Amino acid sequence: MTRIDLDKYDGFYAERTGCLRSSVMRDLMAVTARPEVISLAGGLPATSSFPEKTLARVTHEIAMNSCAEALQYGPTEGFDETKKNIARVMAEEDTLVDPDNILVTTGGQQGIDLMARIFINPGDPIITEGPTYPGAVPSFCGFQADIIQVPLDGDGIRTDQVRAEVERLMKEGKKPKFIYVIPNFHNPAGVSLSMERRLELVELARERQLLIIEDNPYGQLRFEGESLPTIYSLDDDNNVIYLGTFSKIISPGMRLGWIVAPTPLLQKFNLGKQAADLCPSTLAQMVVNEYFREARWQDYVERTTAIYHKRRDAMLAALEEYFPEEASWTVPQGGFYIWATLPEYLDTTDLLALAVEEEKVAFVPGEGAYVDGRGKNQMRLAYCAVPEDRIEEGIKRLAKVIRNQMALYRALKGE
């Protein structure tokens, strides 16, 4: 193959692609797939516990009885049956929605991308948590949003600071296009938004006529504590757009998610989706719908959540035992992730190279969850995909790399 000059295509790219960077997580997938590496990086659901026989039965049923339909294009908004099943899933979180207000998407990720595509003009302010879901950053940056990241603490996003930011913007004659939040078992921070703050957000949206985007892939994966109502269910002024997904409750391989929104917005999202990919996968929808007919989907969710619970406990115990006392971390009550903070002088992107190279352990550096260089001394540790004994070994190895770097720093400082 001939070598191609790397600059050859530079003049062709749109300006907005300048900020697009591959996520460290995606780059890592090749490395972390190596069997000798313990990966605490990927937010991979425990699909190995999905009953193979169920999938075999369901797919066989479709192939024998609805083959032509399964292989055909379908409606942009998804099949009625899919939407009814989605409404059932949401009812499990005490959130009642009309199936007509649902648009089926290609994963939850497409929901995020449609929000960016439909709402953001270059330079428009939006508000997100700091840190935010690293996978949302390229969508928002790609449409050239001015991303304002409001810090979160153990109770989720600081709503007092959200209010202050909104007031500041309004004084400048601007308004955020939306406030994007992940209220349950946040990716990457692991924390959940308190009831008080959910109500404050809803109130702020009502007062200032703002849009909230509630991204909730993990809400059903609670293994501890009391469930909290969705922000969508607390709002009675049509200010909340809800994003959901089957990825964490059935399978990310299905690539099926959804948006719930007031009718006028939904029509715009539908047009955006037509432009993006015409329609969600018919085959995947039929698999999900058949699965809902033949099995109690909650059983699988309960089983995997019990697995995540044990794995979280294993990770917390290992952190307690091996991590230096200068480190701190969040304690999630569900979901996949723990967010750890190290001494400020450590850079977790540098640390990752050492961790993979020297100790064969991977994690996600914190930097990708911010747009302004924050998060350098933070890391996301996913316990979802690794058995307990490997979690302990992984944290032990990681702690060794961290302690070595801390010792090196102290030696250089002459301490």
Cβ closest to ligand PLP, residue 165 vs residue 215? 215
Alpha carbon of 383 to those of 307, 319, 363: distances in Å?
Answer: 10, 12, 10
CB 115 within 8 A of CB 89: no
Pairing assessment for the beta strands 38-39 and 364-365 based on DSSP bridges: unpaired
Q: For the CB of residue 106, give the shortest distance to ligand PLP in the complex, in Å.
A: 8
Q: For the CB of residue 116, give the shortest distance to ligand PLP in the complex, in Å.
A: 13
Cβ closest to ligand PLP, residue 215 vs residue 235? 215
Q: For the CB of residue 185, give the shortest distance to ligand PLP in the complex, in Å.
A: 9
CB 220 within 8 A of CB 253: no
Cβ closest to ligand PLP, residue 79 vs residue 185? 185
**Residue positions counted in the chain:** 415
Q: For the CB of residue 246, give the shortest distance to ligand PLP in the complex, in Å.
A: 7
Cβ closest to ligand PLP, residue 215 vs residue 359? 215
Q: Which residue is nearest to ligand PLP (CB)?
A: 107
List contacts with ligand PLP (CB under 6 A): 43, 107-109, 133, 135, 182, 187, 215, 217, 245, 247, 252, 257
Pairing assessment for the beta strands 212-215 and 240-245 based on DSSP bridges: parallel
CB 391 within 8 A of CB 315: yes
Cβ closest to ligand PLP, residue 318 vs residue 362? 362
Q: For the CB of residue 156, give the shortest distance to ligand PLP in the complex, in Å.
A: 13
Q: For the CB of residue 411, give the shortest distance to ligand PLP in the complex, in Å.
A: 39
Cross-strand pairs, 197? none
Alpha carbon of 57 to those of 251, 256, 285, 302, 378: distances in Å?
Answer: 16, 20, 15, 21, 44
Cβ closest to ligand PLP, residue 135 vs residue 280? 135
CB atoms within 10 A of CB 108: 26
CB atoms within 10 A of CB 231: 27
